[in-house]
Amino acid sequence: MRKKVIAGNWKMNKTLEDSLKLATEVVTIANDEVNNNVQIVMCVPFTSLYAVSNIVKGTKVALGAQNCYSKPSGAYTGEISAEMLKSVGVQYVILGHSERREYFGESNALLADKVNIVLATGMTPIFCCGETLAQREKGIHIDFINAQLTDSLFHLAPADFQKIIIAYEPIWAIGTGVTATTAQAQEMHEKIRNHIASKYGTEVAETIVIQYGGSMKPDNAKELLSCKDVDGGLIGGASLKARDFIDVIKGA
């Protein structure tokens, strides 16, 4: 049985002081209210990683980063390597978020390199995929997502592929307040799992955690997370308030 994984993506929010306050609140409430059947991850800004790592150490909450560079080290001013992240206690790294793809031009080929380096460093990639509203309306969204998975992940050996978490994020539902219906979410998660099975077989596909990442909130989390193939959430806005984030987690 797949364990539910709920990851909060703080994006470019929270100063160091704000991060310490929020992380402490989440850890405190989680220890009291959340059972061990749910893995909680907080993906905080680079500037807060080390400080937050000391707060989450030994708790139910794991530390995540929002990105890393595709090379192990070198003259890449302003970038952060996977080894640097690992050294401050990071366990999960978000890769390929639609905002990275859109604003920074990240390609499937580049993301394949990032996946490789995160796995080699011993951390877990949270690999994002998803379609725009235009792609959905044209009926090409399934082929588009399949290409994202194939181009960035299908070079992996089965043992490495099973270390990946996939986050399906309908771009038309990120930060818009619009959420996919449970039927839409389940359909896409099932399609993704079927595509994985076409390459790696059903046994491997059934082990892969597939999160939903489009405006999951306390009032819809339980319904979305009840879907057969929805194994958690990649949470944006609702992760910026401790009570909201915990209430999403409790929906699992």
Helix (H) or strand (E) holding 56: helix 49-56
In eight-state DSSP terms, residue 181 is: -
Three-class secondary structure of residue 7 per DSSP: strand
| Residue 102 known to be catalytic | no
Cβ atoms 48, 21 nearer than 8 A: no
| Residue 99 known to be catalytic | no
Q: Which of 97, 141, 189, 195 is catalytic?
A: 97
Q: Which of 99, 106, 131, 169 is catalytic?
A: 169
Cβ atoms 250, 29 nearer than 8 A: no
> In a 10 Å sphere around its CB, with 0-12 CB exposed, 13-18 middle and 19+ buried, how is residue 35 labelled?
exposed
* Spatial separation of the C-alpha atoms in residues 151 and 154, rounded to whole Å: 6
Please compute Rg for the chain using Cα positions.
17
Q: Which residues are catalytic?
A: 97, 169
